[in-house]
Amino acid sequence: MKMKYNLIRDKNYKAWLAELKGKILSAQLKAAVAVNTQLLEFYWELGADIAAKQAEANWGTGLIEQLSKDLSSEFPDMKGFSRSNLMYIQQWYLFYAKSIVQQPVGQIAKQPISLLQKNKFWQQPVAKIAQIPWGHNIAIISGCKTVREALYYVQGTITHNWSRSVLVHQIENGLYNREGRASNNFSAALPKPQSDLAKQTLKNPYIFDFLNLTREHDERELENALVEHITKFLLELGAGFAYIGRQVPLQVGESDFHIDLLFYHLKLRSYVVIELKTTAFEPEFAGKLNFYLTAVDRQVRSEQDNSTIGILICKKKDEIVAEYALSDIRKPIGVSEYKLTQSLPKSIKSNLPSIKEIEKELRLKK
């Protein structure tokens, strides 16, 4: 009697199965994207129809409420016909359509999405709104004031695959107004296009709203808190950063030095040294960071890596002082501020238990 062959242990079968799973997931993703695109194309045309009817017909303000009742009654299994969602559809359509075509609302509304896609303004960035989920679109038009700002978050969602909660977090923290705004010498210290990409990795200010620190916190306390909340810190730094370590030792000559935080940026293919200062920026900070970058370039960086980048995150900075300090430095350095939206008095903070103390107490109660 022949033994049944165990396919589970067959390497070729396992490899083929993994390939099939990848194809299925890819097909599911494409199908989901296609369904989402079709839904948003329908929403666009529905929004256009609602805008046109309200502009041309004497149907009054009760149009959306009546339409919601009629469509929900006719299609009870279909979601999306609530009064609030129909209002979002109209708002979403008008938010973009007014910027695409400089025409009266009634004339805009007569143009379906298929025709607007032929418009050069639509073809450039705006067609991307159909590539992200409807919930993301609602969050964007609810939190953004301009089409330019909205398209920034649309592109961010597509590029970084942001969940809705992450997208809302980025909008509420004003990422659009912070990204690439830090003082830096990247244009002079790095070749294009690396310099442009490096600028995009900077923010000013960095928002550390996930930290509970005393108003008199020092650099070690700030460093400890950021490492303890490393996942949220990485989210604030942005896509591409990989955490390597804290207080990374460097020996230069007979002296020992320690880097506050060391990261690696996957897109830049560069080590990134972050130094934290809980005081205002001083020119000598840039000189010391420049020294650290030289040490990392000589001792840590490989031939495949690009030049090491430095980021100084200070409590505050004077833009002109920072510009002067960086003007003659050859290593790429950016200078940013950080903001704490939560700050506890020292007397209260000292009486709060630490994470380790809470964990110890929980173990004793088991």
Residues 139-193: pLDDT tens digits?
999 999 998 899 999 999 998 889 999 999 999 999 999 998 899 999 999 999 9
Q: Are 245 and 262 in contact (CB under 8 A)?
A: yes
Quick one: which of 333, 295, 292, 342 has its CA closest to 314? 333
Number of domains in the chain: 2
Residue of 29 and 287 predicted with greater confidence: 287
Q: Provide mean pLDDT across the span 106-115.
A: 48
Give residue 13's pLDDT band: very low, low, confident or very high (50, 70, 90). low
Give the pLDDT of residue 26: 67
- Dist. CA 361–CA 87, nearest whole Å: 51
Give the pLDDT of residue 16: 64
Give the pLDDT of residue 39: 85
211 and 111, same structural domain? Answer: no
- Using alpha carbons only, what angle is made at residue 143 by residues 142 and 148, rounded to the nearest 5 degrees? 105
The CATH number of the domain where 329 resides is what?
A: 3.40.1350.10
Give the pLDDT of residue 209: 87
Give the pLDDT of residue 347: 47
| Cα dist from 61 to 54, 55, 90, 144, whole Å | 8, 11, 13, 25
**DSSP element (H, E) containing 316:** strand 309-316
Q: Are 239 and 251 in contact (CB under 8 A)?
A: no
254 and 115, same structural domain? Answer: no
182 and 127, same structural domain? Answer: no
Say which residues have a Cβ less than 8 Å from residue 249's Cβ, sequence separation at least 6: 256, 257, 258
- The residue from 71, 96, 131 where one domain ends is 131
Whether the per-residue pLDDT at 198 is higher than 90: the answer is yes
Q: Provide mean pLDDT across the span 68-74.
A: 87
Give residue 100's pLDDT band: very low, low, confident or very high (50, 70, 90). low
Residue 265 lies in a domain: yes
259 and 347, same structural domain? Answer: yes
Q: Provide mean pLDDT across the span 46-71.
A: 82
Whether the per-residue pLDDT at 84 is higher than 60: the answer is yes
342 and 205, same structural domain? Answer: yes
- Dist. CA 97–CA 91, nearest whole Å: 10
Residue 27 lies in a domain: yes
292 and 195, same structural domain? Answer: yes
- A 10 A CB-CB count for 3 gives 5
Give the pLDDT of residue 350: 47
- The residue from 97, 114, 131 where one domain ends is 131
Residue 172 lies in a domain: no
Residue of 345 and 202 predicted with greater confidence: 202
323 and 210, same structural domain? Answer: yes
Average pLDDT of the chain? 82
- Dist. CA 238–CA 246, nearest whole Å: 18
**DSSP element (H, E) containing 310:** strand 309-316
342 and 222, same structural domain? Answer: yes
Whether the per-residue pLDDT at 104 is higher than 80: the answer is no
Quick one: which of 141, 115, 54 has its CA closest to 152? 141
Give the pLDDT of residue 352: 44
Residue 212 lies in a domain: yes
Q: Provide mean pLDDT across the span 58-84.
A: 84
- Using alpha carbons only, what angle is made at residue 90 by residues 70 and 127, rounded to the nearest 5 degrees? 125
Above pLDDT 90, what percent of the chain? 54
Residue 86 lies in a domain: yes
Residue 184 lies in a domain: yes
Kindly report, residue by residue over 280-330, the tens digit of the pLDDT: 999 999 999 999 999 999 999 999 999 999 999 999 999 999 999 999 999
Please enumerate, as own/partner, the contacts of 274-278 that have beta carbons within 8 Å and a separation of 24 or more. 274/310, 274/311, 274/312, 274/313, 275/310, 275/311, 275/312, 275/313, 276/219, 276/222, 276/223, 276/226, 276/313, 277/219, 277/312, 277/313, 277/314, 277/315, 278/217, 278/218, 278/219, 278/222, 278/314, 278/315
Give the pLDDT of residue 309: 97
Output phi, psi for 21, to 5 deg: -60, -40
75 and 206, same structural domain? Answer: no
Give residue 98's pLDDT band: very low, low, confident or very high (50, 70, 90). confident
Whole-structure pTM value:
0.73
User: Measured in Å, how far apart are the chain's first and last C-alpha atoms?
Assistant: 55
Residue of 77 and 281 predicted with greater confidence: 281
Residue 89 lies in a domain: yes
Facing residues of 338 across strands?
A: 206
What are the structure tokens assigned to 35, written together?
């369904």
Whether the per-residue pLDDT at 125 is higher than 90: the answer is no
Provide the domain limits for residue 271. Answer: 178-351
CA pseudo-torsion sign 164, 165, 166, 168:
positive
Give residue 53's pLDDT band: very low, low, confident or very high (50, 70, 90). confident
- The residue from 110, 131, 152 where one domain ends is 131
Whether the per-residue pLDDT at 215 is higher than 70: the answer is yes
Whether the per-residue pLDDT at 272 is higher than 60: the answer is yes
- Dist. CA 242–CA 265, nearest whole Å: 6
For residue 239, the 8-state DSSP code is T
107 and 226, same structural domain? Answer: no
Residue of 58 and 289 predicted with greater confidence: 289
Whether the per-residue pLDDT at 121 is higher than 90: the answer is no
Residue 290 lies in a domain: yes
Residue of 303 and 349 predicted with greater confidence: 303
Q: In the Cβ-directed half-sphere of 9, how many Cα atoms lie within 13 Å?
A: 3
333 and 213, same structural domain? Answer: yes
Q: For the CA atoms of 27, 32, 33, 38, what is the dihedral angle to 10 degrees?
A: 130
Burial class (CB in 10 A: 0-12, 13-18, 19+), 351: exposed
Output phi, psi for 270, to 5 deg: -140, 145
Q: Are 335 and 312 in contact (CB under 8 A)?
A: yes
320 and 206, same structural domain? Answer: yes
Quick one: which of 203, 219, 88, 223 has its CA closest to 142? 88
